[in-house]
Chains A and B, each alone.
Chain A
């Protein structure tokens, strides 16, 4: 784990409004590379991982459906889900997925 990566992730999790982050690798099924924050621990965290993966899949397949067979189609770049209590920001990539849960003050 390169020190730069460590630093960047540590900076992210120490941000005042960030409750935790989860770094997943895509593929079936998704697997958790790293996570911090009490929210993402243990079974609950695994559930989150499954849920997030499904959400991204749904949106992605929705986009594919809309775009039909146009070359390349559209890719999900950034998902921002604002709920009453928190905000979940998901950024998927071809290989990885970073999800951050934060509390907008």
Chain B
């Protein structure tokens, strides 16, 4: 700070001297013009040598002064020049002093600007001297750089001119030849004036530059202003968006990489053909929470969303969090949304790239927009018309122009909502199982629609059965639960239910997988909807996969490969199955994270290479399965054969069909 203050002072001093010199220059110009107009003898000058000497010495001293104190940057270069020019000036002065008294005197007159005397041509030489000398003090104070240059030029020129002029001028004086005189004078004066003009220009430039310098000096902000700047919301937004940009840029591939330079071979943490890409976790938001649902964005393949439940340790934080993660931005979520109650299910809207839906523990359905801040833009009311129980499952059905959000809660209520009208559901339906011996309520834990179906859906319940239900009456079937066709096989709550996606030559959309707390994953074929039963009828699974030793919390078919599906269980294992390769054992079994339970699995929508796995430790793991996601042409027909094999050999397989339970127990 002191240096800047010093500099300021020096700049001010320079300015003052500049002003002085400008004034002197103006006066000189005036006197020049006066001089031109008249031609008087040189006698008007009064030799005031003493004054001149004093003046000169004082100015020289002065010029030495700033040169000596100049400390910083700009003036540093200047420091050298006065010393170099210094020896010149006194010598110059001394050389000139003896040469002509007249010169000194005339210079004096100019400087004093009192006597508007004109000088005879003989004095022109003197004026040149004067010019030279005048230059000295003028430039010494500040424009030292220029001084150096100019100093040299005039000496050469001046000397030449001086000599010539001395010779010619003297002659001129004797012969009153005005024209010649004026010519000569004109020439010399023109030269002088050209020089002067040049000097002036440089002066001007210097001063302009000085001004700019002062302006451009980086100033410190006073604290009150600083506080107000920091409190501005635009600053927060700016910092938020730019830091995100930086993190993304940091993780980019290094374009300046040179492959010729060898590096130490990095250890590959290869877990077979299933590799972990990254793990999303944020200290601030996801600590102490568990992931309850995962989804991928249909529009941006790098975005995934995860919903979190309550952080028991931090009661001030919102109970429910939804975080949108970007594969290229690992440090923090792309967006974070808050909710007043635990968010149990989340989905990107397939038809609007900005919207995210969430179902909560309180039964509310929330809609967030990534253009807005943390809070939901729309909420369903906490009333009897909507849900009053936790909403564990939601799905968007329909087309771009006619779509609905279907949500189901644990009291058996299934509601259908219009995206922009969340004030009340478009329709509500309570699934009731009339024939149940204890209660008619159907506790839905999971719900799924087959692809391209919008009316019939299947629900998995807490008692372990899977039922089929209809949203509306249709030919041959009533709206509501189909209580007669029971898909019964699981011994515990059904945690995952997923229909086979329709893609490829053969349609397997009547196959679905379920996973349950009873450690098994089962493959089922739906009964045809055309003929619903009128009497209770039990449907058994085609096959049961018993690999796991823990509750299997989620199972999902692969989006493009017909025979591949993944399952995650409570011991932190991610099983990748390929039915065409082996129906008894998963192809790859990966241990994910620290062995804590994995809650949800979702394949990415683009090509299914990546799987997002939400753990109960609050971490979202992204795994890449590479080439295993790519189906060959024959996969579909192979799967057909496999399934028919399962159906055929159903009795021998380990399918836990009702009838076999006793025989197995007896073993």
User: A residues within 8 Å of B by Cβ?
Assistant: 1-2, 4-5, 7-9, 11-12, 15, 17, 23, 25, 28-34, 46, 49-50, 78, 80, 82, 89, 91, 93, 95-96, 98, 100, 102, 104
Q: Which residues of B contact A98 (CB under 8 A)?
A: 238-239, 242-243, 246
Cβ of B245 and Cβ of A91 under 8 Å apart? yes
With CB as the reference atom, state the residue of chain A lying closest to B243.
A12
CA distance A8 to B496 in the complex (A): 38
Closest 9 CB pairs of A and B: A91-B242, A46-B218, A1-B230, A98-B242, A31-B221, A5-B236, A96-B238, A49-B218, A29-B216
Verify A29–B239 contact, CB threshold 8 A. no
Question: Contacts A11-B331, A33-B229, A33-B230 given: A50-B218 contact, CB under 8 Å?
Answer: yes
Which chain B positions have C-beta within 8 A of A78? 245, 249
CA distance A46 to B226 in the complex (A): 17
Q: How far is the CA of A15 from the CA of B242 in the complex (A)?
A: 15
B302-338 CB mask vs A (1 if < 8 Å, else 0) is 0000000000000000000000000000011000000
Enumerate chain A residues within 8 angstroms of B243, measured Cβ to Cβ.
8-9, 11-12, 98
Sampled A-B contacts (17; CB under 8 Å): A5-B230, A5-B235, A5-B236, A7-B284, A8-B236, A8-B240, A11-B331, A25-B221, A29-B219, A32-B220, A33-B226, A46-B218, A89-B246, A95-B234, A95-B238, A96-B234, A98-B242
Instruction: Closest A residue to B217 by CB, please name it.
Output: A29
Q: How far is the CA of A31 from the CA of B219 in the complex (A)?
A: 6
Further pairs besides A5-B235, A89-B249, A98-B239: 5, Cβ < 8 Å = A5-B230, A32-B220, A82-B255, A96-B235, A102-B250
Chain B 206-265 residues near chain A, CB threshold 8 A:
215-221, 226-227, 229-231, 234-236, 238-240, 242-243, 245-247, 249-250, 254-256
Q: B561 to nearest A CB, angstroms?
A: 37
* Contact for B242 among A33, A49, A93, A102, CB less than 8 A: A93
- Cβ-defined contact, B250 with A15, below 8 A: yes
The answer to whether B221 touches A30, judged by C-beta atoms less than 8 angstroms apart, is: no
- The answer on a CB contact under 8 Å between A12 and B235 is no
Give every chain A residue within 8 A of B331 (Cβ-Cβ): 11, 15
Q: How far is the CA of A85 from the CA of B240 in the complex (A)?
A: 27
Give chain B interface residues in 479-531, CB to chain A under 8 Å: none
Asked if A4 meets B238 with Cβ closer than 8 Å, knowing A29-B216, A31-B218, A31-B221, the reply is no
Q: A32-B218, A33-B229, A46-B218 are in contact. Are A2 and B236 (CB under 8 A)?
A: yes
The interface residues of chain B lying within 8 Å CB-to-CB of A29 are: 215-219
By a beta-carbon cutoff of 8 Å, the part of chain B in contact with chain A is 215-221, 226-227, 229-231, 234-236, 238-240, 242-243, 245-247, 249-250, 254-256, 284, 331-332
CA distance A93 to B241 in the complex (A): 11
Interface centre among B227, B240, B246 (most CB of A within 10 A): B246
Are A17 and B250 in touch, CB under 8 angstroms? yes
Q: Which residue of chain A lies nearest to B240 when distances are taken between CB atoms in the complex?
A: A8
* B256 proximity list for chain A (CB < 8 A): 82
Q: Which residues of B contact A80 (CB under 8 A)?
A: 249
Distance in angstroms between the alpha carbons of A89 and B255 in the assembled complex: 15
Residue of B nearest to A17 (CB): B250
Closest to A30 in B: B218
Contacts of A33 in B (CB 8 A): 221, 226, 229-230, 235
B255 neighbours in A (Cβ, 8 Å):
82
Bound-state Cα–Cα, A28 to B218, Å: 9
- Contacts A5-B230, A7-B284, A95-B238 given: A28-B246 contact, CB under 8 Å? no
Q: How far is the CA of A78 from the CA of B246 in the complex (A)?
A: 9
- For A5, what are the chain B residues with a Cβ–Cβ distance below 8 Å? 230, 235-236, 239
CB distance from B333 to the nearest CB of A (A): 12
Neighbouring A residues of B216 by C-beta, 8 Å: 28-29, 50
CA distance A103 to B231 in the complex (A): 30
A5–B332 CA distance with the chains assembled, in angstroms: 14
Chain B nearest CB, measured from A26 CB (Å): 11
Q: Is the CB of B221 within 8 A of A11?
A: no
A5 to B466, CA, bound (A): 50
Which residues from chain A contact B242 at a C-beta distance below 8 Å? 91, 93, 98
Closest chain-A Cβ to B137's Cβ sits at a distance in Å of 34
Task: Select one of A2, A7, A95, A104 contacting B250, CB under 8 A.
Answer: A104
Asked if A104 and B215 make an inter-chain contact with CB atoms under 8 angstroms apart, the answer reads no
Say yes or no: B229 contacts A25, CB within 8 Å.
yes
In whole angstroms, what is the CA distance A37 to B217 when docked?
22
Give chain B residues whose Cβ lies under 8 Å from the Cβ of A17.
Answer: 250
B11 CB → nearest A CB, Å: 15
Q: Is the CB of A32 within 8 A of B215?
A: no
Closest chain-A Cβ to B667's Cβ sits at a distance in Å of 57
Nearest B residue (CB) for A34: B230
A63 and B658 CA atoms in complex are apart in Å by 75
Q: With the chains together, A78 CA to B243 CA distance in Å?
A: 12
A98 to B235, CA, bound (A): 10
Q: Which residue on chain A has the smallest CB distance to residue B255?
A: A82
A68 to chain B, nearest CB (A): 27
B642 to chain A, nearest CB (A): 48
User: In the docked arrangement, what's the CA distance between A7 and B215, Å?
Assistant: 34
Residues of A within 8 A of B231 (CB): 1-2
Report how far A49 CA is from B215 CA in the complex, Å: 14
Kindly provide the distance from the CB of A62 to the nearest chain B CB, expressed in whole angstroms: 19
